[in-house]
């Protein structure tokens, strides 16, 4: 699969996905997916996935929305996020050439905004504690603690199936992946993951009509989240070359190149040989960022500011900051029999570069991989 459009999208299953949903899909003998190295996006499943428009109404309409309509909007926003469950991708060798290549390249998705991959199906997801009642008991606090933020899978003793709160566990399995090449971002699973543009999930002016609890719900559905999605590499090499001699561009990771406000759980990448990038290089993720950092091209800052402007207590503030942070739980990267090499080098003197066995650079995040540290081995970072 390929596109000649300089800003085009290529995917093994979907080129561009806006608010789409796919379940029980399988791709076999995938050899190559390519898009422009200048501005294109390519992924083994989808080149580009994002949430669609929830509202296109003007000021007069949004100012007249009722409380019921606002509550309904939260459901609409959730329904509009791209959602992919139970996916299998089997790559075959492309010789010495990359199997996925583009400006943003990933083994599953090149650029994913507000995507949900198995997470909503398998977990309760992050539940921000917005209870402002001072009489709340200690047991309630414990229930809302970080350990209770996720619903664990359990095994059915009768038939051996694995079930979560919402039914059978969905998984994503990628095999045979050996070479991902990006310009700006490259990752074994995703080149870049970031929150959806809140301006697309309802007018920014609408956020002023919501309370803190509702706004936290918007944050929950606007941020990307992945669960039970693993990669079995074949001497996997992931590289980002950078662009136009920009010393602050070029991120690569064995799993994610650039992740902002991401939530990843139970997702490993194995048999990784090398990760190389000029700016951020990580065995698992190149750079792990908070959703509080606004930047050109996304409206995350508008959402966070809307929430912060309504905060009435320190407890609410803690909930907001926790919701905006990236979280990686029970995930690992394992090298080949000869080990794993991670390099950040752009060739420019005095230029900054960050490299790490698991994370190249962490800007407000939480990694908890204690559950799989017991069986860690050579070339494994947990």
Pairing of strands 263-265, 225-227: parallel
pLDDT digits over 172-212, tens only? 999 999 999 999 999 999 999 998 764 444 444 455 555 65
Domain membership flag for residue 74: yes
pLDDT at 53: 63
Domain membership flag for residue 1: no
d(CA 128, CA 329): 17
| Contact by Cβ (8 Å): 111, 191 | yes
d(CA 104, CA 250): 10
Domain membership flag for residue 17: yes
The residue among 108, 134, 125 whose CA lies nearest residue 189 is: 108
- HSE, side-chain direction, 13 A CA sphere, residue 263: 27
The residue among 70, 133, 79, 146 whose CA lies nearest residue 323 is: 146
Domain membership flag for residue 330: yes
Domain membership flag for residue 187: yes
Number of domains in the chain: 1
Q: Which two tokens stand for residue 44?
A: 């083994």
Handedness of CA 136, 367, 291, 23 (dihedral sign): negative
Q: Which stretches of the chain score pLDDT less than 50? A: 55-68, 125-166, 198-205, 293-298
| Domain span including residue 47 | 9-381
Domain membership flag for residue 4: no
Domain membership flag for residue 33: yes
Pairing of strands 109-113, 256-260: unpaired
Q: What angle, rounded to 10 degrees, do the helices at 212-222 and 67-79 form?
A: 10
d(CA 168, CA 162): 6
């Amino acid at each position: 699969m390929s596109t000649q459009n300089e800003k085009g999208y290529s995917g093994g299953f979907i080129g561009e996905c806006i608010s789409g949903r796919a379940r029980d899909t399988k791709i076999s003998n995938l050899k190559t997916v390519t898009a422009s190295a200048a501005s294109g996006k390519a992924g083994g499943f989808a080149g580009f996935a994002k949430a669609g428009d929830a509202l296109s109404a003007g000021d007069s309409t949004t100012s007249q929305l009722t409380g019921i309509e606002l509550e309904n909007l939260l459901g609409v926003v959730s329904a509009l996020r791209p959602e992919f469950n139970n996916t299998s991708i089997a790559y075959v060798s492309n010789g010495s050439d990359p199997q996925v290549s583009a400006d943003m390249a990933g083994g599953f998705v090149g650029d994913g905004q507000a995507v949900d991959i198995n997470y909503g199906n398998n977990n309760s997801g992050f539940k921000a504690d917005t209870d402002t009642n001072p009489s709340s008991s200690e047991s309630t606090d414990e229930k809302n603690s970080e350990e209770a933020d996720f619903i664990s899978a359990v095994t059915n003793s009768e038939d051996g199936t694995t079930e979560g709160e919402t039914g059978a566990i969905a998984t994503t399995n990628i095999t045979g992946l050996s070479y991902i090449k990006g310009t700006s971002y490259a990752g074994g699973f995703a080149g870049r993951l970031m929150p959806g543009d809140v301006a697309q999930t309802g007018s920014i002016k609408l956020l002023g009509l919501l309370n803190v609890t509702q706004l936290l719900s918007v944050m929950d559905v606007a941020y990307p989240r992945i669960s039970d999605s693993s990669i079995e590499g074949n001497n996997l090499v992931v590289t980002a070359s950078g662009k136009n001699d920009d010393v602050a561009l070029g991120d690569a990771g064995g799993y994610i190149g650039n992740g902002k406000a991401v939530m990843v759980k139970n997702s490993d990448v194995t048999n990784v040989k090398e990760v190389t990038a000029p700016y951020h290089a990580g065995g698992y993720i190149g750079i792990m960022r908070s959703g509080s950092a606004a930047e050109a091209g996304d409206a995350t800052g508008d959402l966070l500011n809307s929430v912060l402007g309504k905060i009435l207590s320190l407890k609410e503030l803690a909930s907001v900051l926790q919701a905006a942070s990236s979280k990686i739980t029970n995930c690992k990267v394992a090298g080949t029999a000869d080990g794993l090499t991670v390099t950040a080098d752009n060739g420019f003197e005095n230029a900054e570069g960050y490299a790490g066995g698991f994370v190249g650079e962490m800007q407000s995040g939480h990694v908890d991989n204690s559950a799989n540290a017991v069986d860690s081995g050579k070339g494994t970072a947990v």
